[in-house]
Amino acid sequence: MEAALTDLIAPEIRARLLASFAAQGLMAHLGARIAAIAPGCVTLHLPSGPHLTQQNGYFHAGGTAAIADSAGGYAAFTLFPPGFNVLTVEFKLNLLSPAQGDHLEATGRVIKPGRRLTICQLDVWGVSGDERRHVATGLQTLIRVAETRADASRNAPP
């Protein structure tokens, strides 16, 4: 993670977010990692690999959608008080061009925070060296839910 961006977030929020992300089996399975955290904005990276491609060698849309969804969810999570978790209600992702590159970069950005529902903008880029190509964009609605005991133990900071 870029230190300059992570310094913008309170340490306790960062710790809760990192613990929650570490508990996500799908993100671990895909090899995704957190690249940046700021209030209302989270960026994830997904390195390329043959297990993430579709039949033509591009990143599979499922991987693109998964990291876009998680980036937006964690962007909203940065604004939630302790004791609350986030769930996606719906999202729409437009695929703009074939996703290819050394890695995908997904950024979720809160555009309308709310007490119950939060709306995020989702953007995904294919990155190769210094070149970035916008490969997907979308909107997402998230709901803030009270954390359960199982959530609290699974997502507790180490």
Q: Average pLDDT of 127-135?
A: 97
Distance CA 90, CA 39 (A): 22
Does the pLDDT of residue 6 top 80, yes or no? Answer: no
Of 54, 50, 46, residue with least CA distance to 126:
46
Decide: 50 and 118 in contact? Cβ < 8 Å.
no
The residues that bridge with 68 in the sheet, in sequence order, are none
Does the pLDDT of residue 157 top 80, yes or no? Answer: no
SS3 category, 60: coil
Q: Over the stretch 75-89, which tens digit does the pLDDT of each residue have?
A: 999 999 999 999 999
Q: Over the stretch 34-76, which tens digit does the pLDDT of each residue have?
A: 999 999 999 999 999 999 999 999 999 999 999 999 999 999 9
CATH class for the region spanning 3-154: alpha beta
Rg (CA), the chain: 15
Question: So what's the pLDDT on residue 112?
Answer: 98
